[in-house]
Chains A and B, each alone.
Chain A
């Protein structure tokens, strides 16, 4: 008769015995992320406070811990910062407005076609993102069918163009990020037990009230996830601005890109990058706190 004292409290079945196993599993992946994500960001932080070597070649910098770089960069790119966040917010709201009824229709009104419709929502995005954006440029351009039709119907004047405008950029961004909004919305709407909606009707709430008081609140996790997945890439995007916009619609991404490739100015580019990251992180944190969903991933 042996009296056993086990010190290990088994929470799940696979914990404990080989304590090193999780670390071994993590090692390769985390090492990769460290080398190609963490290190570059740290390096970026370092670059952001450097100054060009006086009398040296372009691209030569020395570390001077010049935090004024940030102030300079911000002043130089203030309109782009503002524009990035305005466009991203507009695109997110538009995407939400367009996607929500779509997700609702798929979740509740699609019957046997649910899976097909889900595939159809994602399918357009199998064509290259750039091809799609250029397609819009051509559809909305002078040679497309939209502008001449609208002009013929006298909705827009003969001089107005749809491309090369802020409107086109925002529309392009909205379109490109639609699946990022639709899929999380669908996922959380799908989880709602339709019987709760029936219960709401049973308790004297009509369709609109049921939506306001039951459906929408229950879909909040999806709304939060969708808006985040849309806003974050949208704020940093610059392809839509490049293809569908004009020099007055440049976003922060365009500036960073040009400071890397055209006007070689790494410290400014680095500072701008950091400010963009910081701004997004702060906004995201406030947003998550206020909407109360912590476990997103």
Chain B
């Protein structure tokens, strides 16, 4: 029998983990600590290395370099069945030849647990599917299979529960529901969850901490609010939600703020929110922070004038405007449909304004488009 003892609980620590397949480096010198008991999300586009990282934690891939520890135990070279880690696979991977009961009991039986009935029934009740115990996986719907896959992993009380894009195959409403349920189960059961996803809304909804990955590296790690309001790179700014990034040059600074010259207009930015190394800067502002108004209306804070509305989309909750600025850049503005501002039309001249503290600054060397376009895999 395997020695996945529960004494090896603790923080998950990846140190300088690298995974290469021939010339291709999927995970590049990754160092990461995931605190015990937290809901952690690995977020990034396809091919960024998040699934490979997850598989290395599970033991299904071996790192080319680096080490992985749970608490004080080195699990880097341990086989999957020797680790106190369980995975919820993307396609659920339920054993088609076993009943639901036996699927859920599988891990318990392999570990030599004699009486599995009570534990299996308890976890089936947790996922609200106690009546399906005698069915076979092919008889279940996608949502039900997903919950059984979760139950099968949770019943083993692992130190770490890994979820590989588990909600990808579900439709929107079901996905929203499962997001809430997963979060609830995690707090209820108290396990450490590591959730891999490319859906930034999902990550922000569920996770305590998010690590945004790109091309094998972590771009930024922090709470959802931190990542969203204070992105450190253009990739994070564009990948999480949407950002307007405008090129400019820092023309002067005082104690708290700097003034940035942006195509002939002036913008103020707090020094604490500016990550630019030198004078060249990308000024960032989220579309929902911007107020759009007619040129004659009064506005305060940072102001950009000379915009012309080129597109208007009504999205129910908000109205989304695309505004073409005099320097030929399109900026996005999201206005809440709270009845306050009348809807503008394409062709209207407008001014954009926002509270200066909302501005964030990225280094001028960053690529304005990083993280915003989804490339078709070649």
Contacts and interface: CB of A to CB of B under 8 A. Distances in A.
Nearest to A6: B62
A5 B15 contact: no
B65 A5 contact: yes
A9 interface: yes
Interface residues of B, number: 15
B67 A2 contact: yes
A1 interface: yes
A8 B22 CA distance: 11
Contacts of A10: 61-62
Contacts of A1: 15, 67
B77 A13 contact: no
B74 A2 contact: yes
A10 B63 CA distance: 11
Contacts of B22: 9
Contacts of B77: 4
B60 A4 contact: no
B21 A9 contact: yes
A3 interface: yes
A9 B16 CA distance: 19
Nearest to B62: A6
Interface in A1-47: 1-6, 8-10, 13
Contacts of B65: 3-5
B76 interface: yes
B64 A5 contact: yes
Interface in B27-73: 60-67
Contacts of A8: 62
Contacts of A3: 16, 65-67
Contacts of A13: 60
A4 B67 contact: yes
Contacts of B21: 9
B76 A6 contact: no
A8 B74 CA distance: 20
Contacts of B15: 1
B76 A4 contact: yes
B83 to A, nearest CB: 15
B155 to A, nearest CB: 24
Contacts of A5: 64-65
Contacts of B67: 1-4
Interface string B1-34: 0000000000000011000011000000000000
B66 A4 contact: yes
A1 B65 CA distance: 11
Interface in B70-98: 74, 76-77
Nearest to A13: B60
A233 B14 CA distance: 61
Contacts of B64: 4-6
A10 B76 CA distance: 15
A6 B63 contact: yes
A5 to B, nearest CB: 7
A118 to B, nearest CB: 21
Given A4-B65, A6-B62, A6-B64, 19 more contacts: A1-B67, A2-B67, A2-B74, A2-B76, A3-B16, A3-B65, A3-B66, A3-B67, A4-B62, A4-B67, A4-B76, A5-B64, A5-B65, A6-B63, A8-B62, A9-B21, A9-B22, A10-B61, A10-B62
Interface of A: 1-6, 8-10, 13
By Cβ-Cβ distance, the 8 closest A-B pairs, closest first, are A6-B62, A1-B67, A2-B67, A3-B65, A6-B64, A1-B15, A4-B76, A4-B65
18 contacts: A1-B67, A2-B67, A2-B74, A2-B76, A3-B65, A3-B66, A4-B62, A4-B63, A4-B64, A4-B65, A4-B67, A4-B76, A4-B77, A6-B63, A8-B62, A9-B22, A10-B61, A10-B62
